[in-house]
């Protein structure tokens, strides 16, 4: 000890980890202790720069960190122990990889001399997490630790963001070595994400945009990930060109839902006007989205007559599912900035009045309409009311996965980016509640609501206890239809209405459960009670479990059946038994 006291950079591996967190500006981490991370927990105990949020299950830590990251733009940090701690993190890592969320996950590992011996709580963490991280490291030498930690932060948050894992054996945490602050040379020479778009390609894109007669802008989560400037530039581009714009689930809020050029979300449960515009357009500008199968439907019938421009930071997103004409590899904000500059200097906004008239006809089909009901609460109505009653507030929304998620996307209008956290790519039930915990940690004075389903919410319900412990007033707004509604809908449409294991039997009494957790339970069963109950939920400065009893068998429309084209959408008004049967014939094998 005596000689290490001279050099402030001599410290244990555990101390380096905490020091690196501080050097990267980390204020909060989410974690769960165990034998293989005890030295790190000991260091955490002896400082106050980094606040540790103790979850109830490591999956909760992962999703909380995702919510934290998505709502702040900063990487979320997780600390878990070896073996089961690490395996419990697999779902959030896979989720973050799919949705490009920056996470830095530090896992404890058994001491290096025991690796490979089937030691207690040993698992091959780097092996298990290799396919669900952007990169991962096993650190065998304490003198490599600082470099790896700095590189981990850089890799997670640069380029296309994503989750990383740093696996640190316990003996490395105890060992003393030399720390250094972050520096450029910490990063692999082979890792060079490209930010600036090719000028020639940008010119080609501008020429296409300027000659368009039936253009559409299709934006995605990449715009949100790129930061506020990208959203600002996207809005400016829409303003300058006058083009209609739609977005993926992940991209909601980048362009405001109240904007006059907004077509609504596209894809499987997107609006009719958005999907028809995609199908019939002559020029498509895709910004930070990846032509996922929920978006394209049947790929060989996807927007058959358009020239496609694709802006993406990840070259592997280009031409993966859909061939594009003008790929531009780069960061959304960077490329949009250059594109706008060229457009303003060299192009004229094309006259697309006839196209807008066509769009107006599609809009008039009113694809999000639903039959009002004064006896039972319809889920769509519940979201509409929730939206109305929270308008103008500083609100963040998370969701679980299922029908409620799609209704939230359809009926809750997002005006700003970073306000909407949902599991898009992986579709992870149980994401929303812990994500809300993470969002609330980052934004203690905001209104944070998890729009939940009765089945999903039970997957990570234990994190209510975390919310209580840290006095995080999250609101869990459960659209309780007593079914795994989305699966039930598919069973109805594709499997002869044989509702195999999708009834939520033996549901807990959510109000009593709230009581048991020590939070507030609220129930609404009638449309007339809804506004008052929502107001009560908003007003109380404590966590709330809101049991919103909604119609059990409502289906989520409009819908493009899997494997169908955008112009083969099923609208709610037309979804009678016969039309539904015809629309879904033969699609059973698809997901």
Ligand X SMILES: Cc1ncc(C[n+]2csc(CCOP(=O)(O)OP(=O)(O)O)c2C)c(N)n1
Residues 441-460 that bind Mg ion (CB under 5 A): 453-454
Q: Is 58 a catalytic residue?
A: yes
Q: Interface with ligand X includes 302 (CB under 6 A)?
A: no
**Does the footprint of Mg ion cover residue 270 (CB under 5 A)?**
no
Catalytic hit among 265, 268, 421, 486: 486
Query: Strand, coil or helix: what is 421?
Result: strand
| Residues in region 543-582 near other proteins by CB under 8 A | 562-563
Angle between helices 432-442 and 58-72 (to 10 degrees): 50
**Per CB under 8 A, does 134 bind other proteins?**
yes
- Binding of ligand X by 456 (CB under 6 A): yes
Catalytic site residue from 27, 121, 462, 482: 121
Q: What is the number of other CB atoms lying within 10 angstroms of the CB of residue 527?
A: 18
Q: Least Å distance between CB 411 and other proteins?
A: 27
Q: How far is CA 512 from CA 477, 507, 520, 540, 544, in A?
A: 15, 12, 9, 17, 12
Kindly name the residue from 120, 341, 512, 588 that is annotated as catalytic: 120
Mark whether 414 is an active-site residue. no
226 to 265: interface string for other proteins, x by CB under 8 A: ----------------------------------------
> Counting contacts by CB under 8 A, is residue 587 touching other proteins?
yes
Residue 556's φ and ψ, nearest 5 degrees, are: -95, 110
| 222 and 332 Cβ atoms separated by less than 8 Å | yes
Binder of ligand X out of 280, 312, 384, 454 (CB under 6 A): 454
Nearer to Mg ion, 412 or 483 (CB): 483
Distances (CA, A) of 244 to 37, 259, 273, 357: 52, 10, 10, 12
Tokens 């939206």 belong to: 387
Reading the block at residue 158, the tokens are 């640069």
| In the complex, least distance from residue 222 CB atom to ligand X, rounded to whole angstroms | 23
d(CA 516, CA 278) in angstroms, rounded, equals 49
* Closer Cβ to Mg ion, 290 or 488, answer by number: 488
Residues 6+ apart with CB under 8 A from 294: 249, 267, 268
How far apart, in Å, do the first and last CA atoms of the chain sit? 60
Beta bridge partners of 523: 547
Identify how many contiguous H helices and E strands the chain contains and give both numbers: 23, 20
- Alpha-carbon distance of 107 to 209, in angstroms, equals 48
Check if the beta carbon of residue 193 is closer than 8 Å to that of residue 313: yes
- Confirm whether 170 is a catalytic residue: yes
Residue 342 or 479: the one with the smaller Cβ distance to ligand X is 479
Token pair for 3: 């000689």
Site for other proteins in 154-173 (CB under 8 A): 155, 160
Q: According to CB under 8 A, which one of 185, 190, 258, 305 is a site residue for other proteins?
A: 190
Q: How far is CA 557 from the centre of its chain?
A: 22
- Structure token pair of residue 119: 């030691």
The residue within the footprint of other proteins, chosen from 319, 369, 373, 535 (CB under 8 A), is 319
Catalytic residue among 43, 58, 66, 400: 58
586 binding other proteins? (CB under 8 A): yes
Residue 401 touches which of ligand X, other proteins, Mg ion, none (Cβ within 5-8 Å per kind): ligand X
Which is nearer to Mg ion, 92 or 453 (by Cβ)? 453
Rounded Cα–Cα distance for residues 411 and 135 (Å): 37
Q: Considering beta carbons, is residue 209 or 335 the nearer one to other proteins?
A: 335
What are the residues facing 103 on neighbouring strands?
76, 163
Determine the Cα–Cα distance for residues 43 and 12; give it in Å rounded to an integer: 10
Q: Is 453 in the site for other proteins (CB under 8 A)?
A: no
Residues of span 386-425 touching ligand X by CB under 6 A:
400-404
**560 near ligand X, judged by CB under 6 A:** no
Q: How far apart are alpha carbons 349 and 148 in whole angstroms?
A: 49
Beta carbon nearer to ligand X, 184 or 498: 498
CB of 331 to other proteins, least distance (A): 15
Residues belonging to the active site: 58, 120-121, 170, 486
Q: Which positions lie near Mg ion, rule CB under 5 A?
A: 453-454, 481, 483, 485
Q: Which positions lie near other proteins, rule CB under 8 A?
A: 126-127, 130-131, 134-135, 138, 155, 160, 188-191, 293, 296-300, 314-316, 318-321, 323, 562-563, 585-587, 589-591
Q: Which positions lie near ligand X, rule CB under 6 A?
A: 400-404, 427-430, 453-456, 479, 481, 483-487
């Amino acid at each position: 000890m005596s000689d290490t006291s001279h050099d402030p950079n001599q410290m244990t591996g555990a101390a380096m980890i905490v020091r690196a967190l501080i050097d990267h500006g980390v204020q909060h981490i989410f974690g769960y202790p165990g034998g293989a991370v005890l030295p790190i927990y000991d260091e955490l105990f002896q400082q106050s720069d980094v606040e540790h949020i103790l979850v109830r299950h490591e999956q909760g830590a992962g999703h909380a960190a995702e919510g934290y990251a998505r709502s702040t733009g900063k990487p979320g940090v997780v600390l878990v122990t070896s073996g089961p701690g690490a395996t419990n993190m697999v779902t959030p890592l896979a989720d973050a990889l799919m949705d490009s969320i920056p996470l830095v996950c530090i896992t404890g590992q058994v001491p290096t001399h025991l690796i490979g011996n089937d030691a207690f709580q040993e698992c091959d963490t780097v092996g298990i997490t290799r396919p669900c991280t952007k990169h991962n490291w096993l650190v065998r030498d304490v003198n490599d630790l600082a470099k790896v930690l700095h590189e981990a932060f850089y890799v997670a948050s640069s380029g296309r963001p994503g989750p990383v894992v740093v696996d640190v054996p316990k003996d490395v945490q105890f060992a003393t070595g030399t720390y250094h602050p972050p520096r450029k040379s910490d990063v692999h020479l082979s890792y060079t994400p490209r930010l600036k778009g090719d000028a020639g390609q940008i010119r080609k894109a501008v020429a296409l945009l300027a000659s368009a007669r039936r253009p559409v802008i299709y934006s995605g989560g990449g715009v949100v990930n790129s930061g506020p400037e990208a959203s600002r530039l996207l809005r400016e581009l829409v303003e300058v060109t006058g083009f209609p714009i739609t977005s993926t689930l992940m991209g909601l809020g980048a362009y405001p839902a109240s904007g006059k050029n907004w077509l609504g979300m596209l894809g499987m449960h997107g609006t009719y006007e958005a999907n028809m515009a995609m199908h019939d357009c002559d020029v498509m500008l895709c910004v930070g989205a990846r032509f996922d199968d929920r978006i394209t439907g049947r790929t060989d019938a996807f927007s058959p007559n358009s020239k496609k421009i694709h802006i993406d930071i990840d070259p592997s997103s280009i031409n993966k599912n859909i061939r594009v004409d003008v790929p531009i590899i780069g960061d959304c904000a960077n490329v949009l900035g250059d594109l706008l500059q060229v457009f303003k200097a060299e192009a004229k906004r094309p006259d697309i009045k006839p196209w807008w008239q066509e769009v107006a006809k599609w809009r008039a089909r009113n694809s999000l309409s639903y039959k009002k009901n004064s006896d039972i609460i319809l889920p769509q109505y519940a979201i509409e009311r929730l939206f109305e009653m929270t308008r103008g507030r500083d609100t963040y929304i998370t969701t679980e996965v299922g029908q409620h998620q799609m209704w939230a996307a359809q009926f809750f209008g997002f005006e700003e980016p970073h306000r909407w956290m949902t599991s898009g790519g992986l579709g992870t039930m149980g994401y929303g509640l812990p994500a809300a915990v993470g969002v609330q940690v980052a934004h203690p004075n905001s209104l944070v609501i998890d729009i939940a389903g009765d089945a999903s919410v039970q997957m990570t319900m234990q994190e209510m206890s975390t919310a209580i412990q840290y006095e995080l007033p999250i609101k869990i707004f459960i659209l309780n239809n007593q079914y795994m509604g989305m699966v039930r809908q598919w069973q109805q449409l594709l499997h002869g209405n044989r509702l195999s294991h999708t009834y939520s039997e033996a549901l807990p009494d959510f109000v009593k459960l709230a009581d048991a957790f020590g939070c507030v339970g609220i129930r609404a069963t009638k449309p007339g009670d809804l506004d008052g109950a929502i107001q009560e939920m908003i007003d109380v400065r404590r966590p709330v479990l809101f049991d919103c009893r909604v119609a059990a068998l409502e289906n989520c429309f409009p819908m493009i059946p899997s494997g169908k084209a955008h112009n083969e959408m099923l609208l709610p008004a037309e979804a009678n038994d016969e039309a539904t049967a015809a629309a879904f014939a033969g699609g059973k094998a698809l997901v």
